Chains A and B, each alone.
Chain A
Amino acid sequence: MEKPVTGTRKVFMTGNETVAWAALAAEADIMFGYPITPQNEIMHYWTRLGAKYDRGFLQTEDEISAGFTVCGAIIAGKKAFTATAGPGNTLMQEPFSMAEAMRLPIVAIIQQRGGPSSGTVIYSQQEVTLTTYGGNGEGHRIVYSTASHQELYDYTIKAFNTAWKYRFPTFVLGDGYQAKMREPLEMYDPEARNLEIIKPSPMVGLPGQIGIDREPQHLCNIYSLEEELYDVVLKVQAEYDGIIPELVEYECRECDDAEILVVSHGVVSRSTDDAVMALRSQGIKVGAFRPITLRPFPSQKLREILRSGVKKMLVVESAYGQLVRLLKQEIYGETVPIETLLMPGVGIIDADIISKVKSLIQ
């Protein structure tokens, strides 16, 4: 069958359409989903495109079953994924927790909307806590926070590879702006860039006789004894800690001699970049740090930067302190004062950041 994306192609499209193309390029087999704004068009495009490339789709009765059907398909060896937002993300924490417990390489695209509850259908960065640490577990997850359509394409492909390589639930954390806006990007065939696409494999119905040819598969999300669970959680934690250095991703801009360091993630980091360029041209020593992986968090790098002469840190987010909390636990012990610009559920532009930074140096 013909490949969905051949070579490299410049396109101008919405973020949701971008995700659908990226999932095709990543050789995803099937999507399970339930409609919720602002991720709906991921499903719409997937159903339209998927039919041409022999991929599957099932709309379930709600988000809980969408998450669990992804779990089931993955156990059967299919590269399955879902996409949701807001209250849908809340409901999916149950299946996401099961995926954590059973080490299922679930991939979910989260297009954040305003909260709490139905909030708005538009935009926010209020699903950081939920996506990194939601569920009744330890947050054994990998979360990429994207800032552009190019990254939505790149990191959706990467999310499938990361999930199937490390067997931890993997998330692409976008937002309603990224979902709905149109901007240019380059789509490419991963093979043309020597990017290996990791193949899925089933976790049940394996060849050979149990006890003779192979050990039994032990896909378990419940244990009889507390001590059993304790051993499992510690083992998973150790594995997670072990892969952190391979996983963490971040961006630094003008960090080397920065006295004020602006920390932001996702689409807000675009405004931070513009603000830093404008402030630098006025001779203000400001830098930008952007965690791309929110989980695991690039804490080591951030600590290094903070110790290299930063006098103040400014955390900027379209939420009321979710990135702040995440960051505080990750850099515990550092003494650089933390200032904040917190605008839950609304967009933040460069002028907002510029005036805040200027207020800090007066």
Chain B
Amino acid sequence: MGLVRVALAGEGGQGVQSVAEIMAEAAYDEGLQAIYIPNFGLEQRGGVSIAFLQVSDRRIGAPKFNKADVVVALSQRAMIRTHTYSGPDTIFVYDSSFEVGEGDLPSQYKMALDMPAVEKSRELNTRVFNVIIMGAILELTNMIPVQAARSALERKLGYKFEKNPELREMNFKAIEIGQALVQNKLKGGEKVCASSM
């Protein structure tokens, strides 16, 4: 694989930074190079929070990038905020529940992909919404094996899983739901394995 760049944006509290960190740790565990950098505004809470994640089998130079391979916007205003990271080769992912009007999608993208992640998370548990998104990103990029993400989740939340094993099942299920959302959408078609640079 080459370099995979992901920008993941949502409202503060949606768990954007947590899952970016879990994917970065999982990539590191897999012996890959990984850089994860949170973008943080001045707000103590609220505001759009963006996580920039890069995974590669080679040394990674700049910690930030201009255009992502995958942009995921988890709120209506996060869509606007992330336009700048979407280029002609970017898959731009957002939730089907958003009312997408004129100017809400970026001017450049390879594919705009809406997924009913919010709806699916309501069926399972809204607390694992971010883990569903992680499953979708894993499916879109193939940057790390799902097992590596599970192990990283286990390490991060293992103490909670010990107390309540149902949580473990719920989180692992959430990854699968996220993967399925992408599979249904793409129906075996396109994937972003790596960019050239």
Q: Name A's B-contacting residues (CB within 8 A).
A: 12, 37, 121-122, 177-178, 180-184, 267-268, 270-271, 273-274, 278, 347-352
- Given A12-B25, A121-B42, A350-B197 in contact, is the A180-B37 Cβ separation under 8 Å? yes
Q: Is the CB of A180 within 8 A of B38?
A: yes
Flag the segment in B62-70, B101-109, B131-139 that touches A: B62-70
Q: Which residues of B are found within 8 Å of A273, using beta-carbon distances?
A: 61
Given A350-B62, A351-B197, output 19 extra A-B contacts at Cβ < 8 Å.
A12-B25, A12-B34, A121-B40, A121-B41, A122-B40, A177-B37, A177-B63, A180-B37, A182-B25, A182-B34, A183-B34, A183-B35, A183-B60, A267-B63, A270-B62, A271-B61, A349-B61, A350-B61, A351-B66
Q: Which residues of A are found within 8 Å of B60, using beta-carbon distances?
A: 183
Q: Is the CB of B33 within 8 A of A347?
A: no
Q: Is the CB of A349 within 8 A of B62?
A: yes
Q: Is the CB of B62 within 8 A of A347?
A: yes
- Tell me the minimal C-beta distance from A262 to chain B in angstroms: 13
Q: Is the CB of B62 within 8 A of A348?
A: yes
- Per the bound structure, the CA–CA distance linking A177 and B42 in Å amounts to 16
A-B contact count (CB 8 A): 63
Q: Is the CB of B34 within 8 A of A184?
A: yes
- Per the bound structure, the CA–CA distance linking A350 and B60 in Å amounts to 11
Q: Is the CB of B66 within 8 A of A12?
A: no
Contact of A267 among B34, B62, B65, B197 (CB under 8 A): B62
Q: Which residues of A are found within 8 Å of B66, using beta-carbon distances?
A: 349, 351-352
* Chain B 97-135 interface 0/1 with A at a Cβ cutoff of 8 Å (1 = within): 000000000000000000000000000000000000000
| Complex: chain A residue closest to B58, CB-CB | A274
Q: Is the CB of A37 within 8 A of B40?
A: yes
- Given A12-B28, A121-B41 in contact, is the A182-B64 Cβ separation under 8 Å? no
- Per the bound structure, the CA–CA distance linking A304 and B134 in Å amounts to 51
Q: Name B's A-contacting residues (CB within 8 A).
A: 21, 24-25, 28, 33-42, 60-66, 197
- Given A12-B34, A121-B40, A121-B41 in contact, is the A181-B62 Cβ separation under 8 Å? no
- Tell me the minimal C-beta distance from A267 to chain B in angstroms: 6
Q: Is the CB of B61 within 8 A of A181?
A: no
Q: Which residues of B are found within 8 Å of A267, using beta-carbon distances?
A: 62-63
Q: Which residues of B are found within 8 Å of A177, using beta-carbon distances?
A: 37, 63-64
- Tell me the minimal C-beta distance from B29 to chain A in angstroms: 8
Q: Is the CB of A181 within 8 A of B37?
A: yes
Q: Is the CB of B36 within 8 A of A270?
A: no
A178, A267, A347, A348: residue with the most chain B Cβ atoms closer than 10 Å: A347
- Per the bound structure, the CA–CA distance linking A271 and B61 in Å amounts to 5
- Tell me the minimal C-beta distance from B153 to chain A in angstroms: 16
Q: Is the CB of A182 within 8 A of B24?
A: yes
> Lowest 10 A-B CB distances belong to which pairs?
A274-B61, A181-B37, A347-B64, A12-B28, A270-B61, A271-B62, A349-B62, A177-B63, A182-B36, A181-B63
| Complex: chain B residue closest to A12, CB-CB | B28
- Per the bound structure, the CA–CA distance linking A181 and B17 in Å amounts to 11
- Tell me the minimal C-beta distance from A121 to chain B in angstroms: 6
- Tell me the minimal C-beta distance from A256 to chain B in angstroms: 22
| Complex: chain A residue closest to B20, CB-CB | A182
- Tell me the minimal C-beta distance from B35 to chain A in angstroms: 5
Can you report 25 A-B residue pairs in the complex whose CB atoms are below 8 A from each other? A12-B24, A37-B40, A121-B42, A177-B37, A177-B64, A178-B63, A181-B35, A181-B63, A182-B21, A182-B24, A182-B34, A182-B35, A182-B36, A183-B34, A183-B35, A267-B63, A271-B61, A271-B62, A273-B61, A274-B62, A347-B63, A347-B64, A350-B62, A350-B197, A351-B197
